[in-house]
């Protein structure tokens, strides 16, 4: 080893070089076991790590241990001082034997860790977040997911401030020490990658429960929170038990340790983390009661608890070989949590919600400068790839394979996958191969879904040949160019398709079409009457369908299609028939077909309320924009609010009736949640058509509400109205909940999302509110990300919305680069907007780009957005 590379004083160069998938190689050294010994203290924590390493194959390369801001105090091999040196942030240890115990000691400072990666302090706790590359902020380690080790962790800490000491696996020893300190030792028998390491120290109390697994093992379950929050953990605990049962029933997967711990923390970069046996959650995905949480919050909690629990198999027992395979665990686990929620709530409504998220977030990502395949080819900062594409489009890929194989073969394939790769770091390719083998199908062309970015577009035309008694479905597909990818091959699109009688709406035939060419024609025989096309039912393929169906046909589908998702979809298309011309500044067709369809939906007693709510909901401004070649945000806003006004004015009676149905506030049944969802949509339309009546009803709702869902509905309606009730209600809400930070987040979010001309000014002021802070990711997102998602306000013609976001990104980047980088994408859409907005958005990006000392996280997002 050259001595220059061994110089411990070598400066750390800013490293913005990409990492490529094609460069993957096995690690030079395995780490079989990790022994951690930690003297925990918020100011300075001493970490001694002993790694049992083994040479992998024949080579004479040094042991490279990644670090991030660490300085080695000692480096030893088998108890003796090692020859070692720094290269950038990494520690290189010269190795003269094939296996050794390599020990390092470092000091870290949790209370100065504002990035919330590694070991950090949050509300009196010490906790960790290691995925993807946070472990290297705690100790020197290869810190790559294909290095799997068993762990033993000894923690010492002040017994009064940190009475509870948790880590992965099982508690094997604990006891008192001198000077008011105590210790605990935890061992995790399952080999795991370093990103799944976790510890928590603090004054916590547990909601304790038990679960008996299918083979009769008893598992102790704990949800650890501040004592005052214990009553708000019930829903999460129920969700955990439901998830454990569901994974046994649907996937045959049983929990494998005797203990499962969950901890809720207030400062957390993401939703939650699946650390082995010790899941750590953003408290917003644990804490809930009817007074402070909405129906959507309750559902999100169940979904995230399930997601993290399911990772125990899809992620932990079988992990990822490298970070390019992230969707192997995330796409699959999102699919699993979506199906769990579909089973626990309403199958159709949950599917509609998931498709809405896909369209509102993933489709724009896939058509913009940050578009990337589900399995990316390169990254500068991996954290930027925890995206809707990897997660949500990744889940759609799994869902398509489920559709193609059918449930039994799919289950056989996942059984094979879990059995074959248990204890391994696997690839997306490994997963697909199991699907092929157990499913008996050829997925060669299907693999393009992993490598080709961009949302495929399908043109569908149904032509009836009366003489031959057939209907011909003509299909064409194109896959758009994306950064670095042009001239793409046709993909395999599983299209669940049906023909309905145009007269009666009766279903004539349903088929699963595997459309895998640029063009194709599918023939339906024995078609003896006029028919309507119902295509991509349940959103069986994540594509954009362009069909030439008339308003009448869509209205029939909206009223009659046996597939509830298809009814919703027909309503959306019908609304877009009216919204898109208006948003383009073209002549606007009369709204009558939409009004009639909404009336018919409201009056349909066979439809459940949650579906009704979805069906009468207008496409968001973001979704309208997504369908336009060039977006004029003012015109989009006008188009949508005009249609809402017309519906509200025409259907006053029906809407008043629909919003008046009562349900008990603590009733979380599908029916009760549907009643409240319908109230939100109906009141929203009514307030658009009759603002005074809307304000009166909303204020009355606020005053009588016995649950957060209705309270939030009332505030949302009032936030868009010029009524004195508005300020009264917002002030009352603030006074009532100022001590509850999760609810205060809603107070900020509602104002940031308000549909009113002065939202920009209000948000500019709220940035200086004493309760606003850049340090807490939830608070930052509640105000800034909600504002940036508010199309009309954010795209204010002055460009001040963009400038505000740029300022926040620059300030947040100094504190927490990961969170800052995630706020950049709204500006990255600049090419899609009318020229004056595009110019201003680009200027805001340039302001960020030229600011001093940018993190590589923000650098990557901004440079790609401008490039």
Size of the site for Zn ion (CB under 5 A): 2
The half-sphere exposure of 288 on its side-chain side, counting CA atoms within 13 A, is 27
Which of 84, 115, 122, 132 is close enough to bind ligand ARG by CB under 6 A? 132
| Contact yes or no for 805/827 (Cβ under 8 A) | yes
Which phi and psi angles does 523 have, rounded to 5°? -105, 130
Pinpoint the alpha helices (H) of 315-389.
Answer: 326-344, 347-357, 363-366, 388
Which of 273, 618, 749, 788 is close enough to bind ligand ARG by CB under 6 A? 273
**Cα angle 860, 837, 766; round to 5:** 75
Comparing C-alpha atoms, which of 816, 826, 815, 811 is closest to residue 861?
A: 826
Please say whether the dihedral angle defined by the alpha carbons of residues 730, 301, 353 and 600, taken in this order, is positive or negative.
Answer: negative
Q: In what order do the strands lie in the sheet with 99-108?
A: 80-81, 74-77, 99-108, 45-55, 29-39, 149-158, 181-192, 170-176
Expressed in percent and rounded to 5, the helix, strand and coil fractions of the chain are 45, 20, 35
Catalytic annotation, residues? 308
* Interacting positions 333-372 with Zn ion (CB under 5 A): 333
Q: Which is nearer to ligand ARG, 302 or 705 (CB)?
A: 302
| From the list Zn ion, ligand ARG, none, partner contacted by residue 383 (C-beta under 5 to 8 A by kind) | ligand ARG
- How far apart are CB 332 and ligand ARG at their closest, in Å? 11
With b for 16 or more beta-carbon neighbours within 10 A and e for fewer, the 799-822 pattern comes to bbbbebbbbbbbebbebbbbbbbb
Q: Which is nearer to ligand ARG, 380 or 615 (CB)?
A: 380
| From the list ligand ARG, Zn ion, none, partner contacted by residue 386 (C-beta under 5 to 8 A by kind) | ligand ARG
Q: Is 410 in the site for ligand ARG (CB under 6 A)?
A: no
Which of 41, 76, 131, 299 is close enough to bind ligand ARG by CB under 6 A? 131
| From the list ligand ARG, Zn ion, none, partner contacted by residue 857 (C-beta under 5 to 8 A by kind) | none
| From the list Zn ion, ligand ARG, none, partner contacted by residue 247 (C-beta under 5 to 8 A by kind) | none
Q: Which stretch binds ligand ARG (CB under 6 A): 271-279, 416-424, 560-568, 636-644?
A: 271-279
Size of the site for ligand ARG (CB under 6 A): 12
Q: Which is nearer to Zn ion, 332 or 539 (CB)?
A: 332
**Locate tokens 């600049």: which residue?**
830
Burial (Cβ within 10 Å: 0-12, 13-18, ≥19) of residue 110: buried
- How far apart are CB 330 and Zn ion at their closest, in Å? 5
- How far apart are CB 310 and Zn ion at their closest, in Å? 8
Q: Give Cβ neighbours of residue 123 (< 8 Å, ≥ 6 apart).
A: 226, 265, 266, 267
Q: Which is nearer to ligand ARG, 271 or 483 (CB)?
A: 271
- How far apart are CB 270 and ligand ARG at their closest, in Å? 4
- How far apart are CB 311 and ligand ARG at their closest, in Å? 6
Q: Which stretch binds ligand ARG (CB under 6 A): 216-224, 266-274, 399-407, 501-509?
A: 266-274
Q: Give Cβ neighbours of residue 485 (< 8 Å, ≥ 6 apart).
A: 373, 452, 453, 454
Q: Which is nearer to ligand ARG, 115 or 497 (CB)?
A: 115
Comparing C-alpha atoms, which of 726, 812, 796 is closest to residue 761?
A: 796
Give the span between the Cα atoms of 313 and 169, in whole angstroms. Answer: 15
Q: Is 274 in the site for ligand ARG (CB under 6 A)?
A: yes
Give the span between the Cα atoms of 762 and 784, in whole angstroms. Answer: 12
| From the list Zn ion, ligand ARG, none, partner contacted by residue 665 (C-beta under 5 to 8 A by kind) | none
- How far apart are CB 466 and ligand ARG at their closest, in Å? 53
- How far apart are CB 153 and ligand ARG at their closest, in Å? 20
- How far apart are CB 385 and ligand ARG at their closest, in Å? 8
Structure tokens at 201: 């120290």
Which of 120, 183, 270, 524 is close enough to bind ligand ARG by CB under 6 A? 270
* Interacting positions 321-340 with ligand ARG (CB under 6 A): 330
Please say whether the dihedral angle defined by the alpha carbons of residues 599, 604, 609 and 610, taken in this order, is positive or negative.
Answer: negative
| Contact yes or no for 858/828 (Cβ under 8 A) | no
Binding mask 494-513 for Zn ion (x = CB under 5 A): --------------------
- How far apart are CB 473 and ligand ARG at their closest, in Å? 39
Q: Is 143 in the site for ligand ARG (CB under 6 A)?
A: no
Q: Which is nearer to Zn ion, 333 or 855 (CB)?
A: 333
Comparing C-alpha atoms, which of 159, 84, 87, 167 is closest to residue 119?
A: 167
Q: Label residue 770 left, alpha or beta by phi (over 0 means left) and psi (-120 to 50 means alpha).
A: alpha
Q: Give Cβ neighbours of residue 176 (< 8 Å, ≥ 6 apart).
A: 159, 182
Give the span between the Cα atoms of 572 and 570, in whole angstroms. Answer: 5
- How far apart are CB 330 and ligand ARG at their closest, in Å? 6
Q: Which stretch binds ligand ARG (CB under 6 A): 270-278, 508-516, 693-701, 730-738?
A: 270-278
Structure tokens at 197: 């390491």
* Interacting positions 280-339 with Zn ion (CB under 5 A): 330, 333
Residue nearest to ligand ARG (CB): 386
**Locate tokens 């490529």: which residue?**
20
| From the list Zn ion, ligand ARG, none, partner contacted by residue 778 (C-beta under 5 to 8 A by kind) | none
| From the list ligand ARG, Zn ion, none, partner contacted by residue 399 (C-beta under 5 to 8 A by kind) | none
Q: Which is nearer to ligand ARG, 275 or 741 (CB)?
A: 275
* Interacting positions 365-404 with ligand ARG (CB under 6 A): 383, 386
Q: Which stretch binds ligand ARG (CB under 6 A): 272-280, 600-608, 669-677, 847-855?
A: 272-280
Which of 272, 453, 535, 611 is close enough to bind ligand ARG by CB under 6 A? 272
Q: Is 308 in the site for ligand ARG (CB under 6 A)?
A: yes
Give the binding site for ligand ARG (CB under 6 A). Answer: 131-132, 270-274, 307-308, 330, 383, 386
Give the binding site for Zn ion (CB under 5 A). Answer: 330, 333
């Amino acid at each position: 080893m050259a001595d220059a590379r061994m110089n411990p004083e070598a400066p750390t160069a800013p490293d913005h070089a990409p990492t490529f998938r094609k460069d993957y190689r096995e690690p030079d050294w395995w780490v079989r076991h990790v022994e951690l010994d930690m003297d925990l203290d918020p100011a300075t924590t001493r970490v001694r790590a002993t790694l049992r390493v083994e040479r992998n194959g024949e080579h004479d390369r040094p042991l490279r241990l990644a670090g991030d801001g660490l300085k080695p105090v000692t480096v030893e091999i088998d108890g003796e001082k090692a020859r070692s040196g720094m290269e950038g942030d990494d520690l290189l240890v010269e190795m003269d034997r094939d296996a050794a115990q390599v020990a390092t000691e470092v000091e870290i400072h949790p209370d100065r860790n504002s990035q919330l990666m590694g070991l950090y302090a949050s509300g009196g706790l010490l906790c960790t977040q290691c995925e993807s590359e946070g472990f290297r902020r705690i100790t020197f380690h290869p810190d790559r997911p294909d290095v799997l080790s068993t762990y033993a962790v000894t923690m010492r800490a002040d017994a009064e401030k940190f009475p509870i000491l948790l880590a992965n696996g099982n508690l094997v020893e604990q006891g008192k020490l001198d000077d008011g300190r105590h210790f605990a030792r935890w061992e995790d028998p399952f080999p795991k990658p370093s990103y799944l390491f976790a510890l928590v120290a603090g004054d916590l109390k547990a909601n304790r429960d038990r679960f008996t697994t299918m083979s009769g093992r008893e598992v102790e379950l704990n949800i650890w929170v501040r004592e005052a929050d214990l009553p708000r953990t019930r829903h999460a605990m129920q969700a955990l038990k439901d998830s454990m049962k569901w994974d046994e029933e649907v996937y045959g997967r049983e929990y494998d340790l005797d203990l499962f711990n969950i901890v809720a923390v207030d400062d957390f970069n993401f939703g939650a983390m699946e650390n082995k046996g010790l899941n750590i959650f953003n408290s917003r995905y644990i804490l809930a009661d009817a007074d402070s949480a909405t129906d959507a919050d309750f559902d999100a909690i169940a979904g995230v608890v399930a997601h993290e629990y399911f990772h125990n198999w899809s992620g932990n027992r079988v992990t990822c070989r490298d970070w390019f395979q992230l969707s192997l665990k995330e796409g699959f686990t999102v699919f699993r949590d979506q199906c769990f929620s579909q089973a626990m709530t309403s199958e159709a409504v949950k599917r509609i919600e998931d498709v809405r998220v896909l369209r509102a977030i993933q489709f724009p990502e896939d058509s913009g400068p940050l578009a990337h395949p589900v399995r990316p080819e390169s990254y500068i900062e991996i954290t930027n790839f925890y995206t809707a594409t990897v997660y949500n489009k990744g889940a759609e890929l799994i869902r398509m394979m489920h559709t193609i194989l059918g449930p039994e073969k799919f289950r056989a394939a996942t059984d094979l996958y879990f059995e074959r790769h248990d204890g391994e770091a696997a690839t997306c390719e490994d997963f697909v191969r199991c699907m092929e083998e157990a499913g008996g199908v050829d997925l060669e062309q299907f693999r393009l879904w992993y490598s080709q970015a961009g949302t495929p577009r399908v043109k569908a035309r149904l032509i009836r040949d009366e003489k031959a008694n057939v209907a011909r479905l003509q299909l064409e597909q194109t896959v758009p160019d994306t950064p670095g990818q042009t001239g793409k091959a046709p993909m395999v699109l599983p299209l669940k398709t049906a023909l309905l009688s145009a007269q009666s709406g009766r279903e004539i035939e349903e088929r699963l079409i595997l459309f895998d060419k640029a063009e194709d024609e599918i023939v339906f025989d024995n078609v003896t009457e006029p028919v309507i096309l119902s295509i991509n039912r349940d959103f069986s393929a994540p594509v954009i369908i362009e069909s030439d169906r008339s308003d009448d046909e869509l209205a029939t589908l909206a009223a009659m299609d046996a597939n509830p998702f298809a009814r919703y979809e027909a309503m959306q298309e019908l609304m877009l028939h009216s919204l898109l011309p208006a948003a383009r500044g073209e002549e606007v067709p009369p709204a009558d077909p939409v009004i009639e369809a909404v009336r018919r939906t409201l009056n349909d007693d066979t439809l459940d309320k949650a579906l009704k709510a979805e069906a009468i909901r207008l496409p968001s401004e973001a979704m309208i924009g997504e369908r336009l070649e060039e977006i004029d945000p003012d015109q989009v806003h006008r188009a949508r609010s005009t249609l809402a006004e017309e519906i509200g004015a025409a259907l006053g009676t029906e809407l008043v009736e629909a919003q008046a149905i009562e349900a008990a506030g603590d009733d979380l049944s599908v029916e009760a949640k549907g009643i409240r969802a319908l109230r939100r949509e109906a009141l929203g339309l009514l307030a658009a058509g009759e603002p005074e009546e809307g304000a009166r009803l909303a204020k009355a709702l606020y005053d009588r509400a016995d649950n957060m869902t209705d309270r939030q509905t009332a505030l949302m309606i009032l936030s868009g109205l010029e009524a004195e009730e508005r300020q009264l209600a917002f002030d009352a809400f603030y006074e009532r909940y100022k001590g509850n930070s999760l609810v205060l987040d809603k107070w900020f979010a509602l104002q940031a999302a308000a549909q009113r001309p002065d939202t920009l000014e209000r948000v500019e002021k709220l940035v200086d509110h004493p309760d606003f802070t850049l340090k807490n990711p939830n608070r930052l997102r509640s105000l800034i990300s909600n504002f940036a998602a508010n199309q009309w306000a954010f795209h204010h013609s002055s460009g001040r919305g963009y400038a505000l976001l740029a300022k926040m990104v620059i300030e947040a980047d100094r504190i927490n680069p990961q969170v800052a980088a995630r706020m950049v994408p709204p500006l990255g859409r600049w090419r899609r907007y009318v020229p004056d907005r595009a110019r201003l958005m680009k200027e805001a990006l340039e302001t960020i780009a030229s600011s001093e000392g940018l993190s590589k996280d923000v650098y990557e997002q901004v440079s790609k957005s401008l490039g």
